[in-house]
Amino acid sequence: MWPPLHLFALAQQEVNGMGYTYSPDEDKEQEEPRHERSTSAETSLGISQNIVGLLTYMLGWATGIAFLFIEKENSYVRFHAMQSIAVFVPLTIASILAPFVPFAGDWAESQIKCTVSKSF
């Protein structure tokens, strides 16, 4: 709870002028248990899941597919493998097709000009 009133209160403090008195013990009752994520979980490869998650992006969709088949248990690694595939497959397709776009555009333009000139 911010601001930490218990740091400023010696005994009790009036809050918001409503006649409510604050007791540092109230924070202890209202605190929720903290859920800490383990960042050093091991994978089936014996490597930290953070490292394997990073490796899924190293060679694009190829490593994504590889780690998707290798890692069957760890959902963190599988998520990053699927995300790697979802990002790099469309990028690969676009990079293959991009050089042909000017050619296709020029070809379509020449066909249109040819058709228009023959009609007159």
User: What are the pLDDT digits (tens) for 34-84?
Assistant: 655 555 678 888 889 999 999 999 998 999 999 999 998 889 999 999 999
**Residue 105: per-residue pLDDT:** 66
* Residue 99, pLDDT score: 72
Q: Which helix (H) or strand (E) holds 31?
A: none
At 16, the pLDDT band (50, 70, 90 cuts) reads very low
Q: Are 85 and 61 in contact (CB under 8 A)?
A: yes
Name the pTM for this structure: 0.54
Residue 2 pLDDT grade (very low, low, confident, very high; cuts 50, 70, 90): low
* pLDDT for 78: 93
* C-alpha dist (Å) from residue 10 to 15, 24, 60, 113: 14, 9, 58, 87
- Alpha carbon distances (Å) from 13 to 6, 24, 25, 64, 71: 9, 10, 13, 57, 55
Bridge pairing between strands 20-22 and 13-15: antiparallel
Residue 63 and residue 84 in contact, taking contact as beta carbons nearer than 8 Å = yes
Average model confidence (pLDDT) across the chain: 74
